[in-house]
């Protein structure tokens, strides 16, 4: 097996209390949710992996290990041209795998146009594979259709997101089902204050936080991270107003600043984030990784889907979801459990199938999967033999 290393972010920031929010925003790749799949991949490959940033030189990258593991997000779309990064990768000698690549579009199924530079980046990754099979995993069938459009589908496999296997329990779905109850405390994975078309939904979620003494957990952008970090007084009036108008439009700015210090939370360490969720009965929001971390902690959770990226992840991994367009006027506490559709047996069976695919992918690329992945993947066989 080859010596893997992460080509991306460190999965935790121990010095976070001593850093500015701007520094932290940059260190997490502008979204704390990025830490989730970096943490998942690191642990699934044995833990304590070295990490090197995308800004490193090809020589620095090569010196880190034998095979670069590239945690991906929604890089495929008209919004992202990675031609410069592709030219850097072309100078590397290390092998490479990319995990969790997704396409960005609306929920109408329209395939995005991918810039030539990003296609060259993808072809360079493919050229750096060290095994015989595909060296790219995708978030879902929608992303696969995007690659198929450009003749690259044979080099990738659909797997969802590695956060699906953070909990080693092969019967995680049963654990989630056992925790389904009328929610007394609710946590919300907060959205983006510029998503103005979703403001009524977000305001209803903030109301649930207030009504249940819950939590409002920040992920992105920097203003939301600062707000949920207790720094409302450091935001400009314009930024604070935008956040207020999005989450709590009925409050004045002073009241909203107090509210944010009572209910706001933000995390720069994934185990701490997941453990915090355990004190809540339900988690929901527009952020897929905020929702995934709750499910991995055994807490019922619901994703509010507003783009192709979150839709295909939910469909691939059988994560409970509701379309944002269907709740555009908001979500009440009384309606919440009717929106939560969860089949524990189907979730576990699907998780076991995808985990087997993940293990095969890692081994085909000369990577050693963590032992608990095998236990998840083998659960279906054990149940059949019982």
Res. 385 pLDDT band, cuts 50 70 90: very low
> Looking at residue 107, what is its pLDDT?
80
Res. 383 pLDDT band, cuts 50 70 90: low
| CATH 3.40.50 location in the chain | 172-342
Q: What is the pLDDT of residues 86-105, one digit of tens each?
A: 999 999 999 999 999 999 98
For the domain made up of 172-342, give the CATH fold: Rossmann fold (3.40.50)
Q: What is the pLDDT of residues 132-158, one digit of tens each?
A: 899 999 999 999 999 999 999 999 999
Q: What is the pLDDT of residues 48-83, one digit of tens each?
A: 899 999 999 999 999 999 999 999 999 998 988 999
Residue 1's CB: how many other CB atoms inside 10 A? 14
Res. 33 pLDDT band, cuts 50 70 90: very high
Nearest-10 crossing angle of helices 34-44, 288-296:
40
């Amino acid at each position: 097996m080859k010596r893997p290393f992460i080509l991306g972010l460190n999965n935790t920031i121990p010095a976070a209390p001593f850093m500015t929010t701007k520094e932290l925003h940059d260190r997490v790749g502008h979204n704390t949710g990025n830490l989730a799949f970096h943490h998942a991949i690191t642990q699934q490959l044995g833990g304590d992996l070295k990490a090197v940033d995308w800004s490193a030189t090809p020589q620095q990258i090569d010196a880190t290990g034998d095979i670069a593991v590239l945690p991906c997000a929604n890089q495929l779309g008209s919004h992202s041209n990675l031609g410069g990064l592709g030219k850097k990768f072309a100078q590397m000698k290390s092998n490479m795998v990319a995990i969790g690549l997704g396409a960005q579009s609306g929920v109408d199924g329209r395939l995005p146009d991918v810039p030539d530079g990003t296609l060259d980046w993808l072809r360079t990754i493919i050229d750096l594979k060290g095994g015989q099979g595909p060296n790219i995993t995708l978030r879902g069938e929608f992303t696969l259709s995007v690659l198929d459009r450009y003749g690259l589908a044979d080099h990738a496999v659909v797997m969802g997101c590695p956060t699906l296997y953070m909990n080693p329990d092969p019967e995680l779905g049963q654990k989630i089902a056992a925790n389904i109850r009328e929610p007394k405390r609710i946590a919300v994975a907060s959205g983006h204050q510029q998503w103005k078309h979703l403001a009524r939904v977000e305001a209803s979620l903030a109301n649930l936080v207030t009504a249940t003494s819950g939590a409002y957990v920040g992920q992105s952008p920097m203003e939301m991270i600062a707000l949920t970090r207790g720094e409302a007084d450091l935001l400009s009036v314009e930024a604070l107003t935008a956040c207020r108008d999005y989450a709590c439009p009925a409050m004045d700015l002073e009241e909203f600043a107090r509210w944010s210090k009572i209910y706001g939370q933000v995390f720069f360490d994934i185990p701490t984030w997941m453990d915090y969720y355990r004190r809540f009965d339900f988690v929901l929001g527009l952020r897929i990784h905020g929702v995934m971390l709750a499910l991995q902690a055994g807490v019922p959770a619901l994703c509010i889907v507003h783009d192709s990226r979150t839709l295909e992840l939910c469909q691939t991994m059988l994560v409970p979801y509701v379309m944002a367009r269907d709740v555009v006027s908001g979500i009440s506490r009384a309606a919440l459990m009717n929106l939560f559709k969860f089949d524990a047996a189907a979730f576990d069976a699907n998780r076991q199938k995808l985990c087997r695919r993940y293990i095969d992918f890692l081994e085909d690329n000369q990577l050693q999967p963590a032992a608990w992945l095998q236990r998840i993947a083998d659960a279906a066989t054990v149940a059949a033999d019982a």
